């Protein structure tokens, strides 16, 4: 049985269809990377998996439990086994780094202060953020915030980790650092991960399988090697990073050089 099953998932906001009939399966210990242009509903997909949004049709099942049908208490129980890393980290800005990472532990585990201290330190060192526990989120850079967000997500030892654009807006070096952190976490914890990204380099590093969402539909879901040679024009355009092609609904005018030629 797959850990996460997305079956015929459709979601629209008013007249705007964001996802239509998306099917995905993630096996245990596998890491899936979801690619797609901006605003193609990748984040909406994660939010449906977390139960933050309810699908219009179809369903998401985590370990066989259909998310939309759970009661709130059951949903919270499932969420304890999922760690979610937000795009802008979403750290609680009134708390220190330590309190942020300790938040889930304090609420859901009967640990004493020393155990919490130890676990928080362990999590922070896993993401290379040791010694920052007394700082406030406002004192951290973007990349540091993301990593603290990772530490908070892994504190409860989840079986599933979801990363929402973990590298967007970071410099290439920090992007590589984050990619490495994700790989380390995967190997150390053996978790199942879904990562949403635009960054092809880290996508190929992290992924066991790559999916591409195009106009609300999942048009490819295969291993990185297969994905690279997928003949689908949208896939090839995405890999080239070219403005011309079927990817954009209304492509910009051709580049000046070509126009002159």
Partner 1 sequence: MILSFFDKAGAGVLKGMDTAGDFAVLSGRTFAAIFKRPFDGANLMRQFQAVGINSLPVVLLTSLAVSMVFAVQLAYGFKQFQAGGLAAGVEGLAVVRELAPVITGLMLSGRVGSAMAAELGTMQVTEQIDALECLATDPIHYLFVPRFLAAAIMLPLLTAVSIVIGYWGGYLVLVGVEGQSAFVYGNEFYKLLAARDIRIALTKALVFGMIIALVGCWKGYRTSGGAEGVGNAPTSSVVTSSLWILISDFFLTKLLLV
CA 207: distance to chain centroid? 12
Out of 34, 82, 144, 154, which residue is the one contacting partner 1 (CB under 8 A)?
A: 82
Radius of gyration over alpha carbons of the chain, in Å?
19
Q: At closest approach, how far in Å is the CB of 57 from partner 1?
A: 23
In this structure, is the dihedral angle defined by the CA atoms of residues 35, 137, 48 and 120, taken in order, positive or negative? positive
Query: Rounded to the nearest 5 degrees, what angle is found at the Cα of 111, between the Cα atoms of 150 and 140?
Result: 30
Residue 104 interacts with partner 1 (CB under 8 A)? yes
Task: Give me the phi and psi of 76, to 5 degrees please.
Answer: -65, -35
Which residue number, 90 or 200, has a Cβ lying nearer to partner 1? 90
CB of 86 to partner 1, least distance (A): 5
Rounded to whole angstroms, the Cα distance separating 1 from 14 reads: 34
C-beta closer to partner 1: residue 149 or 216: 149
**What is the spatial distance between Cα 183 and Cα 38, in angstroms, rounded to a whole number?**
24
Stretch that binds partner 1, among 23-31, 104-112, 128-136, 218-226 (CB under 8 A): 104-112
The residue (of 100 and 132) whose beta carbon lies closer to partner 1 is: 100
Identify how many contiguous H helices and E strands the chain contains and give both numbers. Answer: 10, 10
Give the residue with the Cβ less far from partner 1, 110 or 256: 110
Assess 88 for contact with partner 1 (CB under 8 A).
yes
Q: Which two tokens stand for residue 143?
A: 């990349």
Burial degree of 113 (CB within 10 A; 0-12, 13-18, 19+): exposed
Interaction of residue 80 with partner 1, rule CB under 8 A: yes
Span from 4-12, 151-159, 200-208, 219-227 in contact with partner 1 (CB under 8 A): 151-159
Closer Cβ to partner 1, 75 or 200, answer by number: 75
* 3-state class (DSSP) for residue 22: strand
Q: Which of residues 105-124 bind partner 1 (CB under 8 A)?
A: 107-108
- Find where tokens 């807006």 sit: 169
In the complex with partner 1, the residue whose CB is nearer, 87 or 96, is 87
| HSE-CB of 205 using CA atoms within 13 angstroms | 17
Per CB under 8 A, does 148 bind partner 1? no
Residue 13 binds partner 1 (CB under 8 A): no
Instruction: Tell me how far, at minimum, the Cβ of 221 lies from partner 1, in Å.
Output: 25
Q: How far is the CB of 36 from partner 1 (least distance, A)?
A: 20
Residue 72 within binding range of partner 1, rule CB under 8 A = yes
Count how many Cα atoms sit within 13 Å of the Cα of residue 82 in the half-sphere of its side chain.
Answer: 25
3-state secondary structure of 153: helix
CB 220 within 8 A of CB 211: yes
Q: How far is the CB of 21 from partner 1 (least distance, A)?
A: 25
Among residues 63, 96, 103, 204, the one that binds partner 1 under rule CB under 8 A: 103
Residue numbers at the binding site for partner 1 (CB under 8 A)? 47, 50-52, 72, 76-77, 79-80, 82-84, 86-88, 90-93, 103-104, 107-108, 152-153, 156
């Amino acid at each position: 049985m797959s850990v996460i099953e997305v079956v015929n998932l459709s979601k629209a906001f008013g007249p705007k269809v964001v996802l239509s009939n998306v099917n995905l399966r993630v096996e245990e210990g596998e890491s899936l990377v979801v690619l797609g242009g901006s605003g193609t509903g990748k984040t909406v997909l994660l939010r449906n998996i977390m139960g933050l949004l309810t699908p219009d049709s179809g369903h998401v099942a985590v370990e066989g439990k259909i998310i939309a049908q759970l009661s709130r208490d059951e949903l919270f129980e499932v969420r304890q086994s999922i760690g979610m890393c937000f795009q802008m980290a979403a750290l609680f800005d009134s708390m220190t780094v330590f309190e942020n990472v300790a938040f889930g532990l304090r609420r859901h585990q009967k640990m004493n202060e020393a155990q919490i201290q130890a676990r928080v330190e362990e999590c922070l060192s896993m993401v290379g953020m040791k010694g920052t526990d007394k700082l406030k989120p406002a004192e951290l850079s973007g990349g540091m915030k993301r990593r603290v967000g990772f530490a908070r997500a892994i504190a409860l030892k989840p079986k599933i980790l979801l990363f929402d654009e973990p590298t967007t807006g970071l410099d290439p070096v920090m992007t590589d650092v984050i990619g490495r952190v994700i790989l380390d976490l995967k190997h150390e914890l053996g978790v199942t991960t879904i990562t949403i990204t635009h960054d092809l380099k880290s996508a190929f590093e992290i992924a066991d399988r790559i999916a591409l969402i195009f106009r609300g539909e999942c048009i490819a879901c295969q291993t990185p090697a297969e994905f690279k040679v997928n003949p689908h024009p949208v896939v090839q355009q995405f890999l080239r990073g070219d403005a011309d092609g079927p990817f954009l609904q209304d492509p910009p005018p051709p580049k000046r050089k070509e126009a002159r030629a």
